Amino acid sequence: MFQYIIRRLLIAIPVLLGVTIFNFFIINLAPGNPVDMFVNPNMSAADILAKKEALGLNDPLWEQYGRWMGSMLQGDFGYSFATYEPVLDNIAARIGPTLLLMGTALIIAYLIAIPVGILSATKQYSFIDYLTTTFSFFGISIPNFFLGLGAIYVFGIVFPIFPTGGMTTLGSSGGFVDTFMHLVLPAMVLGTAIAGSMVRYVRSSMLEVLGQDYLRTARAKGLREFFVNNKHALRNALIPIVTIIGLEIPLLIGGAVVTEQIFQWPGLGQLTIQSIGSRDYPMLMALNFIAAFTVLFSNLLTDLMYSVVDPRIKYN
């Protein structure tokens, strides 16, 4: 197991290197540059050139990348072109709200999807199955921005129950209750979208297992249907489900760009939009690097979880 982990970590190094090279050149090939955000009628052409020189934008791209890589290897992601603050400080201030929002949304999604998917599989072709299938298609088909705007209209305007923007009420000291009220709408919107696809995976995985001979044996021994479905069948249906859960882990860091923007949630998703608008190259590079690292880590964690779910799987 240890050798397998070391081997996967070594493979991840060139992958991360390739991702950073690709991202760096793609970001720099986009129209415009950070200096365009500072241009005003009082700036002369000489001032613009001096600003580019100060930011190192006149250097060749390979030189800029080498400078960024050298700093990154020392744990320094540079300074934001937009705020002139350390990049890591900006990310550290945003990662907490993103983890809170995405963690809550994933918990909501799994609490809905796993029992609903099991129920749909055990009641195949019944009214309940058709109802859960409709819910699944509803969650998959409706875009997050449309569902978010609908939630704002219903629960923020027609029935003003929940706040519709930010993480705390302006002018207040915040607190658990205030944060919870702001969290409800974006978490439910994201949780519904994730649960919609998860229900289909849980249902299909359970259907593959429910017809197996060992379940007939368990029923013949007199085990209650609840234990047959939720202990024996679910355990063997977990491998495809674990794969899907592993693919959702990067959302904890990457955030939900659209949903965070709609609800003005101060997370990494909103920071990504702001950084794109301001051509903040150091911030975008750091966000992309963290996202790539999280994807690779979640893939490794998913592979290791296979051996926990299914003892027959061994990594030598």
Phi, psi torsion values for 86, nearest 5 degrees = -55, 135
Q: Which two tokens stand for residue 109?
A: 């999604």
pLDDT at 91: 92
Write out residues in the chain with pLDDT < 70, as ranges.
Answer: 40-41, 251-255, 310-316
Q: What does the pLDDT look like over 35-81, one tens digit per residue? A: 877 776 677 778 778 888 888 888 888 888 999 999 998 888 989 88
CATH among 3.40.50.300, 1.10.10.410, 1.10.3720.10, 3.40.50.620 for 95-309: 1.10.3720.10
pLDDT at 169: 83
Q: How far is CA 242 from CA 80, 147, 234, 305, in A?
A: 37, 27, 12, 7
- In the chain, domain spans: 2-73, 95-309
Alpha-carbon span 99 to 92, nearest angstrom: 11
Alpha-carbon span 101 to 31, nearest angstrom: 32
At residue 86, the 3 state secondary structure works out as strand
pLDDT at 22: 92
Q: How far is CA 24 from CA 11, 21, 288, in A?
A: 21, 5, 9
Q: Which residue has the tokens 């950073």?
A: 20
At residue 265, the 3 state secondary structure works out as coil
Contacting residues for 194 by C-beta, under 8 A, at least 6 apart: 105, 106, 109, 113, 139, 248, 251
Which letter, b or e, does each residue of 267-287 get, where b requires 16 or more Cβ atoms within 10 Å of its Cβ? bbbbbbebbeebbbbbbbbbb
What is the Rg, in whole angstroms, of the alpha carbon atoms belonging to the chain? 24
pLDDT at 1: 72
Q: Which of 37, 55, 43, 207 is nearest to 117 (CA)?
A: 207
Q: Which of 193, 167, 22 is nearest to 98 (CA)?
A: 167
At residue 278, the 3 state secondary structure works out as coil
pLDDT at 21: 92
Contacting residues for 293 by C-beta, under 8 A, at least 6 apart: 16
Alpha-carbon span 61 to 63, nearest angstrom: 5
Alpha-carbon span 74 to 283, nearest angstrom: 16
pLDDT at 311: 66
